[in-house]
Amino acid sequence: MKIYTRTGDHGTTGIIGGSRLTKDNLRIEAIGSLDDANAALGFALTVVKNSAPELDEICDILENSQRQIFNIGAEIATPSDTTSNAELFDDGATVCLENSMDKFNDVLPALRHFILPGGSEAGCRLHLARCSIRLCERRITAFGQNFEVRDNIRAYLNRLSDWLFVAARYCNFFCDEQDSIWEGKK
């Protein structure tokens, strides 16, 4: 089977249900940002896996998050008037992120300042993935002004970006890397 179809050569792409949209359509922008974020999560996962076996919980959540992001993409790619529109996103995934953050925060020093993204390579990759998820939030918010987006999807993306921040701090802490404090104008 060939990967290329040539059907998108003129600036359109197909979605579930057979419609074609321009590649700058809000739906396609939202789907594309989810794809970017999924790749960033995969890159972070690879780096965290190679950092230390003690970071397994972060790896498990990153893998699950990739699946959830793909499910969200499938929902966004499916117009509400399409009979195949299914709710694929797992509502329990948000609670899983919250529980993990609570567990990590119990170990981390209290956050009293803004911090600069950085530290260990794993921490840096998690911060970059967080930025990708924030972009998804913005794109899906724009899309949601004209089309239905379930509230639990918005909540999950918001919580995932929070979790990635805490996970980055946790990786840095575990790898004996200090968070860099933002001190304002110097």
What domains can be seen in the chain, in order of their start residue? 23-80+89-181 (1.20.1200.10)
Strands 180-181 and 115-116: antiparallel
Give me the pLDDT at residue 84, please: 59
Q: Which of 16-20, 56-60, 148-152, 166-170 has the lowest mean pLDDT?
A: 16-20
Whether the per-residue pLDDT at 141 is higher than 60: the answer is: yes
Nearest to 156 by CA among 93, 100, 106: 93
User: What's this model's pTM, rounded to 2 decimal places?
Assistant: 0.90
Q: Which of 86-90, 94-98, 124-128 has the lowest mean pLDDT?
A: 86-90
d(CA 154, CA 149): 8
Question: What tokens were used for 56?
Answer: 């397994």
Give me the pLDDT at residue 85, please: 54
Question: What tokens were used for 31?
Answer: 């789907």
Mean pLDDT of 134-147: 96
Whether the per-residue pLDDT at 180 is higher than 90: the answer is: no
In one-letter notation, the amino acid at residue 67 is: R
Question: What tokens were used for 104?
Answer: 């990590």
